[in-house]
């Protein structure tokens, strides 16, 4: 992946790992520029949308500052989308199970497949998921933000 940004490699790897989880009922994993969603923007539901979540953040004061690397945190949004006008107990349980499995896949784990930098961990936090367009389209959403600290060698 020479010439590919660390951010793009991280997003690609998140997509690959979520696909590999083979989450029951979820076969559509889509990489997007933004995770704002309306029903007409996704080919098949349920779906997992993966996108950047804001801008990368420089982390200051780390010991790495003194050894020739920059430490940058890359935020990635994971948004799970399903049709809302179905059995609510089933929908809630399925969404909760998907979120749980994704958290277990990434939380505090290294992402060795990224070659543009050293991604040595991942912090997982919930994501606010209310989006008016999705609500008006009768969609249920669940989401996480994955934050990947990455050491990049200074040039």
Tokens describing residue 148? 């990947």
Neighbours of 100 (CB within 10 A): 10
Q: CATH fold of 6-153, please?
A: STM4215-like (3.30.2000)
Residue 27: which pLDDT band, with cuts at 50, 70 and 90?
confident
Per-residue pLDDT, averaged over 59-69, amounts to 65
* DSSP symbol at 116: S
Neighbours of 60 (CB within 10 A): 8
* DSSP symbol at 120: -
Residue 1 has pLDDT above 50, yes or no: no
What mean pLDDT value characterizes the chain? 85
Residues 120, 14: Cα–Cα separation, whole Å? 14
| Domain segments of the chain as ranges | 6-153
Stronger pLDDT, 118 or 64, i.e. the higher one: 118
* 3-class DSSP state of 36: coil
Per-residue pLDDT, averaged over 19-45, amounts to 81
Residue 40 has pLDDT above 60, yes or no: no
pLDDT (tens digit per residue) in 83-124: 888 888 888 899 999 999 999 999 999 998 898 888 999 999
Per-residue pLDDT, averaged over 64-82, amounts to 83
* DSSP symbol at 64: G
Neighbours of 13 (CB within 10 A): 18
pLDDT at 35: 67
């Amino acid at each position: 992946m020479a010439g590919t940004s660390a951010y793009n490699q991280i997003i690609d790897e998140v997509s690959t790992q979520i696909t590999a989880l083979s989450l029951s009922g979820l076969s559509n994993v889509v990489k997007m520029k933004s995770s704002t969603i309306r029903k007409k923007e996704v080919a098949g539901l349920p779906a997992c949308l993966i996108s950047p979540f804001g801008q990368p953040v420089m982390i200051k004061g780390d010991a790495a500052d003194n050894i020739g690397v920059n430490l940058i945190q890359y935020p990635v949004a994971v948004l799970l989308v399903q049709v809302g006008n179905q059995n609510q107990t089933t929908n809630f349980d399925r969404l909760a199970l998907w979120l749980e499995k994704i958290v277990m896949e990434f939380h505090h784990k290294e992402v060795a497949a990224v070659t543009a930098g050293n991604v040595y961990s991942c912090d997982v936090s919930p994501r606010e998921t209310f989006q008016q367009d999705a609500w008006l389209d009768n969609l249920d959403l669940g989401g996480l933000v994955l934050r990947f600290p990455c050491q990049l060698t200074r040039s």
